[in-house]
Amino acid sequence: MRDWYYWITAIDTDTGKPYLIAGGRTEADANQKGLEMLGGIDFQIKRLPTRNLARASSLLKGDRLERTQSLHKAAERIGHERSIERLGRRRRTQ
């Protein structure tokens, strides 16, 4: 039996940069963390069969390749939790 984990995905509306954040073992935990961390940025919850950040990023990039058919879009760097924290600090100081 495979364990599933919930991940938070978001796109910064100012820059278009994608973000991926570990959300936890339940959808409710991921939703709460997204609301707390992202401060109004729209986000989605994705269920993935890994809790490894690198593996989750790869799965997300593969999904993006299937949807967009663009290698450029699929290869775009994904920000993670520390990047979101920096983004939040920048927005508070502006």
Buried b (16+ CB within 10 A) or exposed e, 25-37: eeeeebbebbeeb
Name the token pair of 66. 């299937």
Q: 53: exposed, middle or buried (C-beta count within 10 Å: 0-12, 13-18, 19+)?
A: middle
Domain boundaries, the chain: 5-93
* Model pLDDT for residues 11-66, shown as the tens digit of each residue: 888 888 899 999 999 999 999 999 988 877 899 999 999 999 999 999 999 998 99
> With contact defined as beta carbons under 8 Å apart, do 58 and 78 qualify?
no
Neighbours of 6 (CB within 10 A): 21
The pLDDT of residue 26 is: 95
Q: For residue 84, which phi and psi values (nearest 5 degrees)?
A: -65, -40
pLDDT at 94: 66
The answer, as to whether pTM is greater than 0.85, is no
Mean pLDDT of 66-81: 85
